Structure 1
C-alpha cells in the first residue's frame, strides 16, 4: 500500500504500513473554507506528504514552480506509518494547517465520503497548462473517481504479482511459474526441501495490520473470498478461513525464520538477497529486484500473476491483484484552494514525472505518456509488460475502503498474526475478528 525513494529505507507503500488508528471520519462535517481567490501574489500553501522519492523529486524542481507561479510551497514529510493519524487529526479539527495531503486511495476514498477533501472537477480547466485528467493512465485515476467526480490526482500506483527465481525453478525442474495455489505450495516445498532449508520456498509479509493484509488479500480472493458478503462485513467466511489456513501453513512450513515480523522492506530484502525462492508483493518491488548493486538475484527473476485456488477465476473486476494508488487530495478546509490545486497539477505533470523516472525510482509514474515513454521502457523493460498487465486487471476494491477500512484491516491483520504465531486457529482468530468488528461498527 507505498513510494519510491533513492534509499530503500525511505520507500513506503501500502507495502510499507498504513497506520492503525480508528478513522473517526464522522467527526467533521462536510465543508469548504476560503474563497479560492488565491492564485497570485504572495501565497504560501502547506503540503503533508510521504517521505519518499516522489516527494524528493518535487523538492528538486520546486523552485521552478514557485518562480513561475509566485506560489510558495512548504512540504512537510512524515513516514507513511505516521501519516494517517496526522491527516485524520487535521481533518477532524477542521484545520486549515494543510492545504494538500498525499496518501493512498484506501484512505482518500473515506476522506472524500466524509467531506474532508474536495471534488477537483471545477479546478481542472484552469490548470490544463500542467495536467488534465485525461492524461493519466486510466486505471490509476479510476480509484479517485465516482459519480462524475474526481477527488484526487494520482502520484504513483501499483498492483501485486508473483515474483519467482527463474534460476531455482530451472535447477529444481519446476516448469514455469505456478498457475494454481496447489502448484505454488508444491514449488515452495520442492525448493525448501531440495535446498535443505537453505532457501525458503516463499517469503511474505507477516507483520500485523496492513503489512500482512495487503498481500494476503490476494490469497483471500484467490480462494473466492471477499471482505464483505451481501454488503456486510464477513471476514470469517469459509473462503476467508481457507485462505488464512493456507497462508499460515505455507509460511509455517516453507517460510523464512522470523517471517511473522516481516514488513515490506524485510520481505523485499529476504527475496533480493536470495533467501527465498518466491514472494507475492507490490509491482513496485521490480526495480529493487533488478538493481545489481542491491540485489544478488538481478536478472534471475520472473514475474507472473498471483495464482488462484478456485477453478473459474475472474478476468476483471474482483481479481486477486491490487490496484493501489497514492494521490494528492485538496483539503476541504483549505483557504488557498486555487493555489493548492496549481501545485497538485504541477506535481503530477509530465515534466515533473519524467524527471522522476530519469533521476530516481519512479516505477509507479501515473501519466500515460510517461509510462509509454522511452526513458521508462529503458529503465523498467525487464518487467514493464508484466507490470502493465497486472495494472490493467487490478482490483480497485482489493482492500476495504471508506470509513470502516482501518478497523477491518486492523482486526484481520491481528487475526493473521495470531494464526501464524499459533495462538489460535485461523477459524477462531477470524471469528474473533468478525465479532470485534460487529461490536465496533454495529
Structure 2
C-alpha cells in the first residue's frame, strides 16, 4: 500500500521504476474531464490514475469495446482527487458513474451504506469469471457484512521484507526463512554502513494513515497491540502499542534512511534502488520496480515474509478494485466491464501486448501458475502470493477486532485519526517529541472515536 491518503498510495506512488518514471507516468496529459456521453451501450468509469489503470484505458477500445460493443467513458484522476469525487458521487447516488475504483478500505463501508451494488448474482451467472481463482483474502476483504461480494480486485498486494542478498553475504549474514523483528533489527545493525552511505533499513516515516501507519500498524499487530479492542476500548497508549512504536522509531532512528520523517513508499523504493539502504519492509508491489530491466539492483534482491513477533504472519492486504454504484442503470454492462478488467484473459492481454512486468497481479491464483509471468517475476512471485494468502484481514493480531482490516481499521473515522496520530509519531522519529507523548495524545483522539461506537452500541 503506498500512500493512500494518499494514500496509494497506492497508492502510493504507483509501482513503476524510479521516481523519474513515476513522475513521467503520473504527468501524462489527457486524463480527467467529466463522464462521457450516454447511450444504452456505454458506461462511465471513474478511476485512479495509477499506471495499471492507464494501461487498461489504452487497451479497452480495441479489445473490450470491440468484443462487446460497449463504449467505456473514462474519468481518470489522481488518487486524492478520485477518492473525493467517488465519495461525493456515490454518497449522493447521482448515478453519473457506473463503475469506480475503490480499495478494500472503502468497499465494506460503502457496502454497509448501500452505495455500491452486490456482485454475487452477476458472479453466479458468469462462471467463466472464476471467482474461486481470486485469492481468498481478497474476496473476503471485498465482501460486506452480509457475505456478498461488492468488489473485484484489479490488482492487489501484501507486504514483505526486501533485502540486498550481496550486502548481507558480505557481512556473513543469512536472512532467516521467517524473520522476527528482533532478528531484522540485529541484521540492520550489522549491515549498516556496509557500503559507503548505506543504512541498514528503510521504513516509512512520512505522516499519513497510508504512509507510516501502513507498515507500523502491522508491527503493532504482531507485537500484540491493536487500535481498538472488540468492545471499542482505545489502545493507542497500551503497553503493546507503545512497545511496537518505540521499536519502530528506534530502528529507523538508529539504522534507517536519511530524511526518514519525510520518507514514504517512493522515497524508500528509490533508496533501495540507488543503494542507499540494505533492506526495506513495504508493499509486495515494489518488487516489479526492483526487478525491472533497467533496475541497478535487478537480481540482487531477496524477499522474506513480513517480520513477526507474537503472530504467525503480519503482512498487510490492499487492493484497487472495481465496484458498481447502486444507482447505476447499466449494472449488467458494468459487470461485463469488471469481469473483463479483472479476468485471466485481461492479464494475458497485458502480458502479450505490454509485457509481463505490467500485468496487474496479486489477485488470482492462476497468475502464479502462468509460465510466461513466472519467467519475468520468478524471484518475487511466490513470496508475493504467499504474503497475500497468509494475510488475515479479520484476525491480524492476537485479539478480536471490532472491524475488518490489517494495516487500517475499517471505519470512516480512521483516515483522520490515523493521520493525526501519524504526525506525532513522525515527530518522534525526527526527535521532536517522545513516543510516550505522541501516543498519549493519540489515545485521547482514539478514545473520542471509540466513545462514539460505544454510545451507539449502548442504544
TM over 0.5: yes
Give the equivalent residue in structure 1 for 2:439: 430
- Answer yes or no: is the 8 Å Cα contact 2:52–2:360 preserved in 1: no
- Answer yes or no: is the 8 Å Cα contact 1:42–1:70 preserved in 2: no
Give the equivalent residue in structure 1 for 2:380: 383
Cα deviation code 1:259-313 (max 9, x no counterpart): 21112111101011110011100111111111241x2221111111122234xx3
Give the equivalent residue in structure 1 for 2:283: 282
Give the equivalent residue in structure 2 for 1:374: 371
Structure 1 residues 127, 355: closer, same or farther in 2, change over 3 A?
A: same
2:74 corresponds to 1:89: no
Secondary structure class of the residue paired with 1:199? coil
Q: Equivalent residues in 2 for 1:55-204 (5 A)?
A: 55-63=53-61, 64-128=63-127, 131-146=129-144, 147-177=146-176, 179-195=179-195, 198-204=197-203
Match of 1:330 among 316, 320, 324: 324
Structure 1 range deviating more: 135-144 or 357-366: 357-366
- Answer yes or no: is the 8 Å Cα contact 1:42–1:72 preserved in 2: no
Q: If the length of structure 1 is used for normalisation, what is the TM-score?
A: 0.85
Structure 1 range deviating more: 172-181 or 154-163: 172-181
Tell me how far 1:52 sits from its aligned partner.
2.0
Structure 1 range deviating more: 231-240 or 101-110: 231-240
Give the equivalent residue in structure 1 for 2:242: 241
Cα deviation code 1:207-242 (max 9, x no counterpart): 111111111122112312122223324222211111
Q: Equivalent residues in 2 for 1:221-240 (5 A)?
A: 221-232=221-232, 233-240=234-241
CA distance in 2, matches of 1:365, 1:374: 16
CA distance in 2, matches of 1:301, 1:8: 21
Secondary structure class of the residue paired with 1:303? strand
Tell me how far 1:61 sits from its aligned partner.
2.6
CA distance in 1, matches of 2:221, 2:24: 30
Structure 1 range deviating more: 172-181 or 103-112: 172-181
- Answer yes or no: is the 8 Å Cα contact 2:368–2:381 preserved in 1: no
Give the equivalent residue in structure 2 for 1:340: 334
How many residue pairs get matched? 406
How large is the Cα RMSD of the aligned pairs? 2.3
- Answer yes or no: is the 8 Å Cα contact 1:61–1:352 preserved in 2: no
Secondary structure class of the residue paired with 1:48? strand
Structure 1 range deviating more: 430-439 or 268-277: 430-439
- Answer yes or no: is the 8 Å Cα contact 1:125–1:132 preserved in 2: no
Give the equivalent residue in structure 2 for 1:401: 410
Cα deviation code 1:34-72 (max 9, x no counterpart): xxxxxx974322111121232123223312322332322
Q: If the length of structure 2 is used for normalisation, what is the TM-score?
A: 0.82
Give the equivalent residue in structure 2 for 1:410: 419
What are structure 2's unaligned runs of at least 5 residues? 2-9, 27-37, 394-404, 453-459
- Answer yes or no: is the 8 Å Cα contact 1:160–1:281 preserved in 2: yes
CA distance in 2, matches of 1:273, 1:296: 7
Higher relative contact order (CA 8 A, sep 6+): 1
Cα deviation code 1:54-98 (max 9, x no counterpart): 212322331232233232211111122332222112223322222
